[in-house]
Every structure is written in structure tokens, then in C-alpha cells.
Amino acid sequence: MAKEALGRGLGALLGEIEEAYENEMPENKHDVKVIELSKIKPNPFQPRKTFDQENLQQLAQSIKDHGLIQPIIVVKEDKHYIIVAGERRWRASKLAKNKTIKAIVVDIDEEQMREHALIENIQREELNVVELAKAYEELIKVHNLTHEQLAKMIHKSRTHITNTLRLLQLNKKVQNALVDSKITMGHAKVMIGLSEKDQILIMNSIVGQKLSVREVENMVKSLKQTPLKEDTTPQIKQQYDFSQIRELLQNIGLTCNVKNNKLTINFNSSDDLDFLLKALK
């Protein structure tokens, strides 16, 4: 299916998405069904993982006051329906304590559901930056695209695509801090390429000390210029006097060498070793 989708082009898919929304209120009202909310499930391929609760509450109030203007789009699956487009409206309708929702049932397969979910959110700019990066990554994999090709198809710059995808190189905790607005996109870009340990260190410093992007840039520059290394500073070693022990060994017939604070005893036979052990005892 991915090959077929690639053959017809992502641009065609974008057109289909736009057409689907234009037709959400079809001329023939019988095309719109009323479905129980309990029979509807979210799209498992939905890239958007977080929904602003305040915005959902506002939408829920609007639905209470004016009703649902645009039906959602679903696909039939056994005794249930899967959302293709309109998960926010579905969630808001549940908050509004509605039991049913208007929906248009379409006939698409699993691969198209994945693509529609990705494109819908990208086009409507409803994803946070990390979710957006993951959506770009999946589209590139599904359609075997270059950054340049994806940029042209969704009308973004190649630099935007590349910079967004680079956010996936960040530690998960740093990604979450970015999503939660504890750090900015500027902060995040500076940390790309650092070790996970350094990323966490800098993230904690940003949050704790309210560092600006410029201050973080200087911090990263300092880290790169003076990375943590093993201490190679020459140490002044104390020199030990082995003269007495060497004299004692020589007195019992053993020879030894002294170098760099090390004393080496030379044994010519096992008898020499036995003799030393008896002397020590």
C-alpha cells in the first residue's frame, strides 16, 4: 500500500484531505450519520498525543451552545468506528456530555488512515514540535522521501524540516521540557549533538537559573572547549629510600634493582625464594 501511495504522490493525498473537509457537510444530508460516542475509537495512528484541556473545554461549551457544525470522519471496523479526522470534536463532545455525534463514514484502509492522521495534523498545525518531528519522520519512512521532497510537498522549507527532525536527537526528558515550555526551541537547538548527560545538566540549569539562549550557547561552547577529561597533569611523586632494605637483601645473598619507587628482587633459583620466606618469618 505504501508503494501505491507513493505512486499517486503525497500531493494527491493532501488534495484528498482538503476535499474531505470541504465535503464534511455534503449536500445530501443522509450521508451524515448519527453515531453513539461509545462506539467510536480514536485513530491508533494519531501522532498528536497531547490535547490542550482549556481549548477542549472551550470547544465543548461551543458544542453545547451551538451544536456540532462539522461532522467528524470515521471508518467502520466491526461493531465500532475509528476516527479518521476530528478527534478534538469527538473529545469535546464527550466533555459536553453528549451521547452521540454526527459523522461521515468513509471507506479507507489502514495505511490511508495513518497518512490522513499525519497530514491532517501537519496541515492544521495542531501538533507540538516533537510530535511534528515524529510525523515528519514517519512520512519520510512511509514514502521514502528526502527532506527536500517532503518540504516541497507540505510547503515548508527544507531547513524547517531538517531542524525539526533534529529535535528527535534530544534526550526524552529534554523533549518533554520543550513540549511543556520549560525550555524554548532556541534552547533545544543549542543542545543538539551533546551527550545525554550534558543535555540533562544544561536543561536543569535553564529551568533552575532561567538562562537565556545566549547564556546556554556560552555554556555549551565552554563544554566543547574544555570537555571533561582524565586528569593528565604530571604529579610530583615522593621518592622513597630503598637503601636499607636493599642492604638487608644483599646481606642474605639476594640481588635487587630499584627504579621509579619500585624494588625488584631477583631470584636465581627456588632456593633463593625459600630462603627469603624463612627470613621474613
Specify the 3-state DSSP secondary structure of 85: strand
Find, among 135, 134, 160, the residue nearest to 147 by Cα: 160
What pLDDT does 144 receive?
Answer: 82
Q: How confident is the model at residue 238 (pLDDT cuts 50, 70, 90)?
A: low
Catalytic residue among 22, 24, 27, 87: 87
Q: How confident is the model at residue 199 (pLDDT cuts 50, 70, 90)?
A: very high
Question: How far apart are alpha carbons 242 and 257 in whole angstroms?
Answer: 10
Residues 37-56 have a mean pLDDT of 77
Sequence-separated (6 or more) residues with CB below 8 Å from residue 252: 275, 276, 279
pLDDT digits (tens, 9 = 90+) for 266-279: 887 777 777 777 77
Question: How far apart are alpha carbons 119 and 158 in whole angstroms?
Answer: 17
pLDDT digits (tens, 9 = 90+) for 114-166: 666 666 666 555 678 888 888 888 878 877 889 998 888 778 899 989 999 99
Question: How far apart are alpha carbons 208 and 276 in whole angstroms?
Answer: 64
What pLDDT does 151 receive?
Answer: 86
What pLDDT does 204 receive?
Answer: 92
Please list the alpha-helical segments (H only) found in the chain: 2-8, 10-22, 53-66, 87-95, 110-124, 129-143, 147-153, 158-166, 172-179, 185-191, 196-209, 213-225, 243-251, 270-280
Q: Please report, to the nearest 10 degrees, the dihedral formed by the alpha carbons of residues 160, 162, 164, 166 taken in order.
A: -150
Angle between helices 53-66 and 87-95 (to 10 degrees): 70
Sequence-separated (6 or more) residues with CB below 8 Å from residue 3: none
Question: How far apart are alpha carbons 150 and 142 in whole angstroms?
Answer: 11
Query: Active site includes 87?
Result: yes
pLDDT digits (tens, 9 = 90+) for 85-105: 788 888 889 988 999 999 888
Answer whether residue 45 shows pLDDT above 70: no
